């Protein structure tokens, strides 16, 4: 998990494997994916679907929906709880008779730090 939390950038499974290989020569992709699945189930990390990567959860003490802001310049991912946004979405789902089993919204753009520097 520490390898995922090294930065706020999303990390791909094979990048994790490359970091672990010097320490665990026998490590295989299946081992990494099992560990990632476990960490997701425990609510410690999130999968960033659009990047096929993973990022640490800043709200791991409780189950929640996700709003992930992904900077296209520095590649950092900011997690927001966005309770108001998720409430509005839940109302839309209810009106549609739709039962969502998981919710994550990924928005790609430019973070505040990069906007100031560009």
CATH class held by domain 2-117: alpha beta
φ/ψ of residue 32, rounded to 5: -65, -50
At 82, list the tokens.
Answer: 């966005």
pLDDT of residue 4 exceeding 90, the answer is no
Query: pTM of the full predicted structure?
Result: 0.83
* Opening angle at CA 87, ends 68 and 59, nearest 5: 45
Mean pLDDT of the chain: 89
CA distance 81 to 113: 20
Domain ranges of the chain: 2-117
> Residue 105's Cα: distance from chain center in Å?
10
What pLDDT score was predicted for residue 24?
Answer: 83
């Amino acid at each position: 998990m520490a390898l995922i939390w090294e930065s706020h950038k999303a990390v791909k499974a094979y990048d994790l494997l490359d970091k672990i290989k010097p320490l665990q020569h026998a490590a295989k992709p299946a081992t990494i994916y099992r560990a990632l699945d476990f960490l997701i189930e425990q609510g410690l990390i999130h999968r960033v679907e659009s990047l096929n990567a993973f990022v640490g959860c800043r709200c791991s003490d409780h189950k929640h929906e996700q709003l992930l802001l992904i900077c296209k310049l520095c590649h950092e991912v900011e997690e927001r709880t966005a309770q108001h946004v998720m409430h509005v979405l839940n109302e839309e789902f209810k009106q549609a008779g739709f039962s969502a089993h998981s919710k994550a919204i990924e928005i790609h753009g430019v973070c505040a730090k990069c906007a100031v520097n560009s």
